[in-house]
Amino acid sequence: MSDRWLAPNLLRTDARMRFFCLPHAGAGASAYRAWSQELPADLQLCAVQLPGRENRLNERPIDSTTKLVPELLGGIRAYLDRPFALFGHSMGALVAFELTRELRHLGLPQPRHLFLSAHRAPHLPGLFPHVHALSRPEFIAELRRLEGTPDEVLAHEELMQIAEPILRADFKLCETYEYVQGEPLDMPLSIFGGVDDPNVQPAVLEPWREHTRASMRLRIFPGGHLYPQQARAELVSAILSDLRVDSVRLTI
């Protein structure tokens, strides 16, 4: 069994439920490292490691959901042997949504709950269709304007040499995504955003309601597009609260 799709040293076999977390554009599984300290013992953090970053730096990043989702599913399928939930931030939210639809299509176990953060509802048109194809100066300027990449990365030439191909692939994945009409999902959705996120406001988060037959809860936290870094404790608390409300049997 290959664990390359999941962060090393976080996997256990005694958890009663697994919690798969997908990162935002340019980020790796380490974005969720601190979360493990705030989750109950029987909720297993499974931080997803996408190709091209961190311990998979020598692999080519994948630039479309149609390519990524089947490979991701193949990488985590062995870990769907117990109840699980999915969380995705920004690009990760889009991937989590399409992964859930693929699980349904194949008749495989589906998440008990879907937590989607800082991404517009998938049927809405995107605002920035060509960021991934900009020249390097324009690309860096746009990354800075969108506030989705830390300044310490943008200002560091060596870090940008590593991050730029990953970021371009991730932006292409989001900007070339084409929503295909489908039946609403059957699990509850929790939708999150940052109050100061200039491009993902409640008006584009509320329409996620159309994609579930179950309940949908929308919460807005202090901060911008990377609000989980500043409001992690509040965000994790909201996630655990929603799991309790939906009667997932955990010792929380």
**Amino acid at site 127:** L
User: What SS3 state is found at 145?
Assistant: helix
Which residues are registered as beta bridge partners of 193? Answer: 220
Residue 247 annotated among the catalytic residues of the structure: no
**What is the phi-psi region of residue 90: left when phi exceeds 0, alpha when psi lies from -120 to 50, beta otherwise?**
left
The angle formed by the CA atoms of residues 182, 241 and 80, to the nearest 5 degrees, is 50
Going by C-beta distance under 8 Å and a sequence separation of 6 or more, which residues neighbour residue 142? 128, 131, 134
Assigned token pair, 120? 């517009």
> Which residue in the list 30, 36, 64, 90 is annotated as catalytic?
90
Is the CB of residue 212 less than 8 Å from the CB of residue 186? Answer: yes
Is the CB of residue 97 less than 8 Å from the CB of residue 174? Answer: no
- CA proximity to 168, closest of 61, 50, 34, 252: 61
- CA proximity to 230, closest of 174, 153, 147: 147
- Which residues are catalytic, by number? 90
